[in-house]
Structure 1
Amino acid sequence: MKKILFIDRDGTLIKENPPTYQIDRIEKVDFYPRVLFFLNKIANELDYIFVMVTNQDGLGSDNFPEESFWPIHNHILKVFRTEGIKFFSVHIDKTYPEDMSSTRKPEIGMLTSYFDSCYDLKHSFVIGDRMTDILLAKNIGCKSIWINENLSFEEENLSLKDILVLKTDNWKDIYEFLLKNESKIIHYRRKTLETNVQIGINLYGDGKSKIKTGLGFLDHLLEQMSFHSLIDLNIYAKGDIDVDEHHTVEDTAITLGEAFHKAIDTKIGIERYGFFILPMDDCLSTVALDISGRSQLSWNVEFIREKIGQVSTEMFIHFFKSFSSSAKCNLYIKSIGKNDHHKIESIFKAFSISLKMAIKKRINSKKIPSSKGLL
Structure 2
Amino acid sequence: MSRPILFVDRDGTLIEEPSDFQIDSYAKLRFVTDVVPSMLKLRDAGYEFVIISNQDGLGTDAYPRESFQGPHDLMMQIFDSQGIRFRDVLIDTSFPSQNAATRKPATGLVTAYLKDRSIDWSRSAVVGDRPTDVQFADNLGIRAFQLRTPQFGGEWDWAGIAHALADAPRIAHVERATKETRLVVDVDLDRTAEPHVRTGLGFYDHMLEQLGKHGGFALSLACEGDLHIDEHHTVEDAALALGQALREALGDKRGIGRYGFDGPMLAAEVTLPMDEAIASAAVDFSGRPFFVFDGEFRRERVGDLPTELVPHVFRSLCETAGLNLHLTVRGDNDHHKVEACFKAVARALRQALARTGREVPSTKGML
TM-score interval, normalised by the smaller of the two chains: 0.5 to 0.7
| Alignment match, 1:195 | 181
Residue 213 of structure 1 corresponds to which residue in structure 2? Answer: 199
Q: Distance in 1 between matches of 2:165 and 2:124?
A: 14
Separation in structure 2 between the aligned mates of residue 262 and residue 272 of structure 1, nearest angstrom: 15
Residue 277 of structure 1 corresponds to 271
Out of 308, 315, 321, which is 1:314 matched to? 308
In the alignment, which residue of structure 1 is the partner of 2:365? 373
Structure 1: how far apart are the matches of 2:178 and 2:157?
41
Residue of structure 2 equivalent to 1:123: 125
Structure-2 change in CA distance of 1:278 and 1:175 (3 Å): farther
Once the 2 structures are TM-superposed, how far is the Cα of residue 230 of structure 1 from its aligned partner? 2.2
2:334 counterpart residue number: 340
8 Å Cα contact 2:187/2:245 also seen in 1 = yes
Contact 2:252 2:366 (C-alpha < 8 Å) held by counterparts: no
Q: What's the secondary structure of 2:243's corresponding residue?
A: helix
Matches within 5 A, 1:92-131: 111-114=113-116, 119-120=121-122, 122-123=124-125
**Contact 2:5/2:121, CA 8 A, preserved across alignment:** no
Aligned positions of 1:293-332 closer than 5 A: 293-332=287-326
Going from structure 1 to structure 2, the CA distance change for 1:143 and 1:327 (only over 3 Å counts) comes to: closer
Report if aligned partners of 1:208, 1:231 keep a CA contact under 8 Å in 2. no
Q: Could you tell me which residue of structure 1 aligns to residue 349 of structure 2?
A: 355
Give the percent of matched residue pairs that are identical in Structure 1 and Structure 2. 34
Unaligned runs of 5+ residues in structure 2 are 7-40, 51-85, 89-108, 128-136, 146-150, 260-267
Q: C-alpha distance in 2, partners of 1:228/1:275?
A: 14
Deviations 1:252-306 (A, max 9, x none): 1111111111111110111111321111110111111000010100101111111
| Matching residue within 278, 281, 287 for 1:287 | 281
Q: TM-score under structure 2 normalisation?
A: 0.59
Change (3 A) 1:119 1:5: closer
Change (3 A) 1:280 1:189: same
Return 5+ residue gaps in structure 1 as ranges: 7-37, 44-49, 54-90, 94-106, 126-136, 145-158, 168-173
Secondary structure at the aligned position of 1:271 is classed as coil
Cα deviation, 1:154-173, whole Å, max 9, x if unaligned, reads xxxxx9xx9x9759xxxxxx
Is the 8 Å Cα contact of residues 191 and 197 (structure 1) preserved in structure 2?
A: yes
Q: Kindly tell me: are residues 236 and 92 of structure 1, through their superposed partners in 2, closer, same or farther at Cα, counting changes over 3 Å?
A: closer
Residues 250 and 113 (structure 1 numbering): CA distance in 2 closer, same or farther, change over 3 Å? Answer: same
Q: Structure 1 residue 120: deviation in Å?
A: 3.0
Q: Is residue 238 of structure 1 aligned with residue 232 of structure 2?
A: no
RMSD of aligned C-alpha atoms?
Answer: 4.4
Shift of 1:195: 1.3
Counterparts of residues 15-164 of structure 1 (less than 5 Å): 42=45, 111-114=113-116, 119-120=121-122, 122-123=124-125
Q: Secondary structure at the match of 1:205?
A: coil
1:225 aligns with 2:172: no
CA 250–165 in structure 1, closer or farther in 2 if over 3 Å, else same: closer
Query: SS in structure 2 opposite 1:344?
Result: helix
Count of residue pairs brought into register by the alignment:
263
